[in-house]
Structure 1
Amino acid sequence: MTTVPHLALNNGVAIPQLGFGVFQVPAEDTAKVVRTALETGYRSIDTAAAYRNEAGVGEALRAAGLPRDELFITTKLWNSDQGYDSTLRAFDTSMGKLGLDYLDLYLIHWPLPARDTYVDTWRAFEKLQADGRVRAIGVSNFQIPHLRRLFDETDVVPAVNQIELHPHLQQPELRTFHAEHGIATEAWSPLAQGALLAEETITALASKYGKSPAQIVLRWHLQIGNVVIPKSVTTSRIAENFELFDFELDADDVLAIGEMDKGTRTGPDPDTFNVG
């Protein structure tokens, strides 16, 4: 079976560079889909309270019977649960649904700048990590000012920032900031919901390497150092997205994809999104 490379987070915890996301996977389908991903070889599963499918992830993990230390499980705190005490309660709820004794990575889903609760929320995350209930803590959709405020007012630098990132939205300034501060960049919507797979640059590279357009884009993510979590409910696509380690993009081809940046999002702007 293919061995997925791991990246060392800033606290020494190792995260698989390729994982499996379950955003928008229906709750009733989640257990089957995650079981397929685990059988394919994925060992990192990314869910969230807001996806309403944590219980299905937990069911799949129990059914698979894999050693716990082979798995890397991520979930996220939803916006309505931000705040110190409410975060601790929400964590317990998520863990009950997942059926786990500890979590590998817990993320604040959005900064919600207008609500101004993410610092208190982060302090609860620090407690969860200090208590040994979470191996690593991080954030999602945080911008540089949000991260700087955590640096100034709390003690633990986030291990991960999971952000929208794909060839049409490459976020070079934020990625550079992450690198300077030891924060791993994790890409959600790594294929821009399929919007860029018909682009000439990508299709030409797919022909050159004998790979699918999705494989080209996912391989690009790996080569520029991102953690990436593609999502699919199709068995063949789940397998295809895992087959990224038998080829490598030439340096010029990585640069060509780098020229596709348009600064366009498929999801909300973190500076203005305050829903939930």
Structure 2
Amino acid sequence: MALRIERDGERGVALVILDRPEKLNAIDLETAEELVSLWRELRYDESVRAAVLTGAGTRAFCTGIDRGVQVPQPPSPYAIDDPLLRIGPKANDLWKPVVAAVEGMACGGAFYLLGEAEFIVASREATFFDPHTTYGMVSAYEAIAMAQRMPFGEVARMSLMGTAERVSAARAYATGLVSEVTEPGGAVAAALRAAAVIAGYPTDAVQGTVRAVWSAKEAARTQALAQAPALIALGNLAPERQGELFEGRGGGGAAVVR
């Protein structure tokens, strides 16, 4: 099992832990399926009224998809199969509040999870970055998720700078990505305290508020997500295919494996 879950029935809070510290909590296909199953399970678990999501250890919250994973892709440049699209709570129709607790690195595909949390608590040693452009890949879903939380210029800078720049917890707090910064090792405890407060309130009011907050940006997010597959598939084409499409003017790119 790549996930651990610790339930506190008295407070109504579940702690969900990505448990692959030796892989910096990167997500393989098994972990992706476990996340889908867990969020769907929590929809029906009335003893859990709020959740905290974190990664095992202090080196990384999550570093996105495991680089060893190979995901077969359809031949159409307008379609892409992405196993991370279903790993978040909202993708699985879970409207119980989820608080993310970040220690260490959060990068790349981690934003699929951070983008579907209600808010983020981070250690002051946490860092956030998006490596896609460095490796000749399009950042689409990650950038879209962060655009719901950060000012345009900050999202553009992080997405375009790739591995050359990491956003500190202090900067993430200043730009609204992170709502609370703790001492090293304190992110989970702070997130659990916040989740326990929320879980103590009437469930229907809490879940209705979660849904209302998400509806505020849902239309723009839906439109942006509709464009993402084609942008990724086209931008990540191998150089020889780009040459075919752009009469030899296409630059380098990586095969579509996310």
TM-score (norm. length: structure 2): 0.28
